[in-house]
């Protein structure tokens, strides 16, 4: 059975095509392309991706306006039913603004846009998204953001740590994120938000393959379900 995925596009998205290419390369099936103004998602989806970019020009707060787009009601509903949802960069911001993930993404501590490949430590290797990695493994994934500084109150941070919901952690100083958090999971483990771009690390010609396992494990796991 073909892998059924969808990539959401907002006004200002600029990584939606990258995400679609990565999903098709790994799964062999092109994802549905869904406009933010649509009210419904395609039926029987296996995977939803909320890509990077600058939705609505980052007005108000990064991801805040996109989180109120009509399609996000359907994404929230699908996530509640267990459909895997991946939010990358601006997509991570959208997921926090929509309440699917805790915390917020603030302006980088340096006040500068950061664009480079960074080392990440895999903290949780038990989720649908991360089971293709070893716990403690270091992978290298590109970042490109101005508002990637993850913030949450201490009680929330302690809960995320205690429940194993920190998926990835920066290995060097990148943006000032509390506890160097680069990606977090929801309580059910089917929603992942991360600032680094795994879809930009699925081709050796683009600098590396460390993002491939994230998509491959999701495809394989859902094929066996």
Residue 197 catalytic?
yes
The active-site residue, picked from 15, 36, 89, 146, is: 89
Please state the φ and ψ torsions of residue 129, each to the nearest 5 degrees. -85, -30
Reply yes or no on whether 146 is catalytic.
Answer: no
3-class DSSP string for 35-82: ECCCCCCCCCCCEEEECCECHHHHCCCCCCCHHHCHHHHHHHHHHHCC
The predicted-structure confidence for 76-86, as pLDDT tens digits, reads as follows 999 999 999 99
Pick one of 3.40.50.740, 3.40.50.300, 3.40.50.880, 3.90.600.10 as the CATH number of 5-224. 3.40.50.880
pLDDT at 223 over 80: no
Q: Can you give the pTM of this predicted structure?
A: 0.97
Closest CA to 95 of 199, 193, 218: 193
Calculate the dihedral angle through the C-alpha atoms of 6, 63, 185, 162, rounding to the nearest 10 degrees: -170
Residue 115 among the catalytic residues = no
Domain ranges of the chain: 5-224
pLDDT tens digits for range 36-95: 999 999 999 999 999 999 999 988 889 999 999 999 999 999 999 999 999 999 999 999
């Amino acid at each position: 059975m073909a892998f059924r995925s969808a990539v959401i596009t907002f006004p200002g998205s600029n990584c939606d095509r990258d995400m679609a290419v990565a999903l098709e390369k790994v799964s062999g099936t092109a994802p549905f392309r869904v406009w933010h103004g649509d009210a419904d998602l395609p039926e029987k989806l296996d995977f939803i991706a909320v890509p990077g970019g600058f939705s609505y020009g980052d007005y108000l707060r990064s991801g805040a306006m996109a989180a109120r787009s009509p399609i996000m009601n359907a994404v929230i509903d699908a996530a509640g039913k267990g459909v895997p949802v991946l939010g990358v960069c601006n997509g991570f911001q959208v997921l926090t603004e929509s309440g699917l993930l805790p915390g917020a993404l603030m302006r980088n501590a340096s006040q500068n846009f950061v664009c480079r490949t960074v080392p990440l430590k895999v903290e949780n290797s038990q989720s649908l998204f991360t089971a293709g990695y070893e716990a403690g493994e270091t992978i290298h994934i590109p970042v490109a953001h101005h508002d990637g500084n993850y913030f949450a109150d201490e009680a929330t941070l302690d809960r995320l740590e205690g429940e194993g919901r920190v998926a990835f952690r920066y290995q060097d100083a990148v943006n000032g994120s509390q506890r160097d958090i680069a990606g977090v999971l929801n309580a059910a483990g089917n929603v992942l938000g991360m600032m680094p771009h795994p879809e930009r690390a699925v081709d050796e010609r683009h600098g590396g393959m460390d993002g491939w396992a994230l998509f491959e494990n999701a495809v394989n796991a859902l094929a066996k379900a």
